[in-house]
Amino acid sequence: MIEHGKTLVHAETNNDRVVVGFSDGTTARGDILVGADGLRSTVRYLIDPGAPAPRATGLGYTFGVAPNAWACT
Ligand SMILES: Cc1cc2nc3c(=O)[nH]c(=O)nc-3n(C[C@H](O)[C@H](O)[C@H](O)COP(=O)(O)OP(=O)(O)OC[C@H]3O[C@@H](n4cnc5c(N)ncnc54)[C@H](O)[C@@H]3O)c2cc1C
């Protein structure tokens, strides 16, 4: 089941199951918790609060389309 509009705020294990809490006060249980909540992942923080925070590395990139790719070396 997929539910939209939920914000996860809490997670814990209970009898080998995962119990998560949402900002609206509801909870859900499951066998595993998959964190796919982006760069500043709440799930990642809940699992490991001491993990390094994301940081800018200074790396950048530029891309485009060339009319004649064979002319590029
Ligand atoms: C301006 C900009 C331009 C970009 N351009 C490109 C590009 O051209 N090509 C490219 O490859 N990449 C690009 N990226 C990077 C790309 O957007 C990310 O790498 C990619 O979206 C990461 O996907 P994700 O699924 O890990 O996280 P996200 O796409 O960030 O998805 C995370 C989801 O989790 C939700 N969420 C967060 N916290 C919670 C919570 N507590 N409870 C419930 N849900 C939550 C969020 O609402 C969001 O829907 C760009 C990024 C930005 C900001």
- Judge whether 6 lies within some domain: yes
Tell me: pLDDT of 73 over 70. Answer: no
Residue with CA nearest ligand 1 atom 17: 38
Tell me: pLDDT of 70 over 80. Answer: no
DSSP string, 9-72: EEEEEETTEEEEEETTS-EEEES-------TT-HHHHHH-TTSPPP---S--------S-GGG-
Q: How far is the CA of 54 from the centre of ligand 1 (A)?
A: 13
Tally of domains in the chain? 1
Confidence of residue 67 (pLDDT cuts 50, 70, 90): confident
Q: How far is the CA of 59 from the centre of ligand 1 (A)?
A: 18
The whole domain housing 27 covers 1-53
Model pLDDT, residue 62: 92
Give tens-digit pLDDT for 14-65. Answer: 999 999 999 999 999 999 999 999 999 999 999 999 999 999 999 999 998 8
Verify whether ligand 1 is closer than 6 Å to residue 23 (CB atom).
no
- Judge whether 19 lies within some domain: yes
